[in-house]
Copies of this chain bind each other. A is one copy, B any other.
Amino acid sequence: MPSQEVNPDLLKERNTATFDPHEFAVFWAGGEERYKEKKSLEKMFLEDPALKDDLPISYLSHKELYEHSLRKACIIGEKIRKLRAEGEDGVDTYNALLGGSLGAAILKEGNPLTLHYVMFVPTIMGQGTMDQQVEWLSKAWDCEIIGTYAQTELGHGTFLRGLETRADYDARTQEFVINTPSLSAYKWWPGGLGHTANHAVVVAQLYTKGEFRGLAPFIVQLRHSDTHEPLPGIDIGDIGTKLGMKSVNNGYLGLKNVRVPLNNMLMKNQQVLPDGTYVAPKNSVLTYGTMMFVRCALIRDTAQSLAKASTIATRYSAVRRQSPIDPNQPEPQIMDHTTQQLKLFPQIAKSIVFKTTGDGIWNMYNVLSGEIEQGNLDRLPEMHALSCCLKAICSADAAAGVEICRLSCGGHGYMDCSNFPTIYGMTTAVCTYEGENTVMLLQTARYLVKVYGQALNGEKLVPTVAYINDALKERQFVNFDGSLESIVKAFQFVAANKIRIAYEQIEQRRRQGHSTEMAANLSGTFLTAAADLHGRAFLAESAYTELLAVSRQVSPALADVLKVVLELYLVDACLNRIGDFLRFIDLTDKDVTTLEIRLQNCLKQLRPNAVTLVDSFDLHDRVLDSVLGAYDGNVYKRIFESTKKNPLNKEPVNEAFHKYLKPFMKAHL
């Protein structure tokens, strides 16, 4: 679409903003240098005509979509190769292209080569010996081989020890014989496995000398290097259409007596010697690191998804006019309805808080990684517990927020050309992958209940749970004065009480004679509730700390806006858990009404800057890919132009009329 005049309502919004969106955009990108890198990558990728779609992909069949996506994935791969040759392929580049918003601008339903870059290569780096890295890495980096990572099975996900795929070492030939002994053992879900990868890291139960040794990773060639035909013993294909991630080419894999050489087991952590002697790993802690890394990255992704959805819905709400407030006046911008503000603005605030919290956690992770390298594992459990619950909360809230934004756009949000359906599909997937959310909350809760017991014994707890010590001292929360600081403190007090109840529930059931495990299961919903509050208390504190810190570094104009965002976030978060607040803190009906009126005031204060705030997320029109959310706000023109691309509209009369409808209509004549 040629550049058009900007919708006058949007123009008005931009002209009346009280801060400079560029200043915020630079902050959002992570600083001046990253901002420039971002712009340069956008230029390199988004201006390449080969990476533009003439036809929206929602009109393609599953098969067409795969072929279309593989073509683009190869072009991206070629550009990555070029960047790599120039030494320009930093981790940010991979993030942007494979997981981030730039990647989504090109392949919005996912890239069948992503797992090659983000799982296959890193697994060889992390779990291969030096010799193995020499053998495999250059081929993998050059994409001479394309790999994926095959762990989850049709019948087994979360509980890794339940995996059925097995590798039996045959010392005579110095090979492993790999099998998926049943249908439920089939590998299921790996991205690119269907028809793209010709290799995979396959995780299997290792047996040597007839003895079970635990899980191990094996490099398995799946397809012939030249013909791409599946190799003997390999049953492989695409698992089918899905809610989202439609072009990832998720695959299944059955293995029947597939033999791989001894050296194909990645042996950095554990070894099998040629005679079958097994050398166990020194510690298994290191794999926690990778999982935490991924979860920390996901928190930032959820912020990005919510930023996209908020941008689309906010711009549309400035352009769309509906339902007079005053019957004598014309229909207002729907953003002037307070009910609409209550849908949109908390999502904008959450985008910002999830992003700053994600950045904070990322820094914590990096510090921790350094400590782990030096053998100091002290903060690992704390960090693990935190990353689990934040992954669960941010993904669930982001997915819900995307749907709130979509629904706030009425019927138009339901059309694929709004891009909401795709954003939702990609966002809700995060609730399930890399640790299903309920499982995540239970992991956090297990830690919380343990440290609660320690606190009861008078132990001083580590920083992120130290509030439990305070709560045990205070017992009553006095002085709720409504200040932001007291909301944060109150969140911690409430979290401590939810942890107390979970702890008491388990103890009570143990006293009734249940095993610890059964007592925990029977208290499951108390545990997840405790973990939820722990994460929300952390988010509240992080919002408070990080946004005030940023406010001190930016212009007063921007600082003022960020303070409104902070207040809105905290008051809204508090009201969303008001039942817990009222349960543990002595608040009256009037106090709650006061908070509700305060929320309304935050909405009112944010209203003049709402469009400019989402503008400052600086999301390229191609990233948004939405007729409702484009920068120029020409909503109706763009909707209408999208219908012109619909293949069904290329002919005035569809052949189905002649084949089916006409005979039906004339049947009785």
Are B159 and A338 touching (Cβ within 8 A)? no
Of the stretches A73-81, A461-469, A559-567, the one at the interface is: A73-81
Complex alpha-carbon distance, A338 and B244, angstroms: 29
Of the stretches A38-46, A300-308, A374-382, A576-584, the one at the interface is: A576-584
A189 an interface residue at 8 Å Cβ cutoff?
Answer: yes
Partner of A338, one of B420, B521, B655, B661: B521
Among residues of B, the one whose C-beta sits closest to the C-beta of A525 is B342
Are A74 and B323 touching (Cβ within 8 A)? no
Complex alpha-carbon distance, A483 and B517, angstroms: 32
Are A664 and B77 touching (Cβ within 8 A)? yes
Are A589 and B584 touching (Cβ within 8 A)? yes
The minimal Cβ–Cβ distance linking A640 to chain B, given in whole angstroms, is 6
Are B59 and A241 touching (Cβ within 8 A)? yes
Interface residues on chain A, number (Cβ under 8 Å): 145
Given A144-B669, A653-B228, CB of A239 within 8 Å of CB of B643? yes
Are A596 and B525 touching (Cβ within 8 A)? yes
Among residues of B, the one whose C-beta sits closest to the C-beta of A504 is B593
Q: Which interface residue of A417, A420, A428, A648 has the most chain B CB atoms within 10 A?
A: A648
Main SS of chain A's interface residues? helix
A317 an interface residue at 8 Å Cβ cutoff?
Answer: no
Find chain B residues with CB under 8 A from A325 CB. Answer: 517-518, 521
The B-contacting residues of A in range 635-669, CB under 8 angstroms, are 636-637, 639-640, 642-643, 645-649, 652-669
Complex alpha-carbon distance, A410 and B153, angstroms: 12
Are A162 and B63 touching (Cβ within 8 A)? no
Complex alpha-carbon distance, A428 and B645, angstroms: 26
A274 an interface residue at 8 Å Cβ cutoff?
Answer: no
The minimal Cβ–Cβ distance linking A142 to chain B, given in whole angstroms, is 5
**Copies of the protein in its oligomer:** 2
A100 an interface residue at 8 Å Cβ cutoff?
Answer: no
Complex alpha-carbon distance, A407 and B432, angstroms: 7
A158 an interface residue at 8 Å Cβ cutoff?
Answer: yes
A32 an interface residue at 8 Å Cβ cutoff?
Answer: no
Find chain B residues with CB under 8 A from A660 CB. Answer: 70-71, 73-74
Among residues of B, the one whose C-beta sits closest to the C-beta of A406 is B243
A438 an interface residue at 8 Å Cβ cutoff?
Answer: yes
A366 an interface residue at 8 Å Cβ cutoff?
Answer: no
Find chain B residues with CB under 8 A from A326 CB. Answer: 515, 517-518
Are B240 and A643 touching (Cβ within 8 A)? yes
Q: Which interface residue of A74, A194, A320, A518 has the most chain B CB atoms within 10 A?
A: A74
Are B70 and A59 touching (Cβ within 8 A)? no
Complex alpha-carbon distance, A658 and B592, angstroms: 65
A152 an interface residue at 8 Å Cβ cutoff?
Answer: yes
Complex alpha-carbon distance, A166 and B70, angstroms: 49
Are A652 and B230 touching (Cβ within 8 A)? yes
Given A66-B656, A654-B195, CB of A415 within 8 Å of CB of B241? yes
- Cβ contacts A316-354/B at 8 Å (1 or 0 each): 000011111111000100001111101100000000000
The B-contacting residues of A in range 284-326, CB under 8 angstroms, are 320-326
- Cβ contacts A400-436/B at 8 Å (1 or 0 each): 0001000100110111110011000000110111001
Given A59-B61, A438-B339, A654-B66, CB of A322 within 8 Å of CB of B241? no
A362 an interface residue at 8 Å Cβ cutoff?
Answer: no
Partner of A78, one of B577, B578, B667: B667
A503 an interface residue at 8 Å Cβ cutoff?
Answer: no
- Cβ contacts A255-299/B at 8 Å (1 or 0 each): 000000000000000000000000000000000000000000000
Are B414 and A242 touching (Cβ within 8 A)? yes
Are B241 and A58 touching (Cβ within 8 A)? yes
Find chain B residues with CB under 8 A from A62 CB. Answer: 58-59, 646-648
Complex alpha-carbon distance, A331 and B433, angstroms: 20
A446 an interface residue at 8 Å Cβ cutoff?
Answer: no
Given A63-B648, A146-B661, A648-B66, CB of A524 within 8 Å of CB of B155? no
Complex alpha-carbon distance, A142 and B664, angstroms: 10
Are A322 and B158 touching (Cβ within 8 A)? yes
Are B228 and A662 touching (Cβ within 8 A)? yes
A528 an interface residue at 8 Å Cβ cutoff?
Answer: yes
The minimal Cβ–Cβ distance linking A400 to chain B, given in whole angstroms, is 9
Q: Which interface residue of A63, A659, A669 has the most chain B CB atoms within 10 A?
A: A63
A88 an interface residue at 8 Å Cβ cutoff?
Answer: no
Are B636 and A155 touching (Cβ within 8 A)? yes
Complex alpha-carbon distance, A636 and B322, angstroms: 49
Complex alpha-carbon distance, A186 and B183, angstroms: 53
Instruction: Across the A-B interface, give the 3 residue pairs with the lowest CB-CB distance, nearest first.
Output: A579-B579, A582-B582, A578-B579
A-B contact pairs, 6 of them (CB 8 A): A81-B668, A184-B636, A194-B649, A239-B643, A240-B646, A584-B589
10 additional contacts (CB under 8 A) given A66-B654, A183-B640, A241-B417? A59-B63, A70-B661, A71-B656, A146-B661, A188-B411, A195-B648, A244-B414, A338-B522, A414-B429, A526-B596
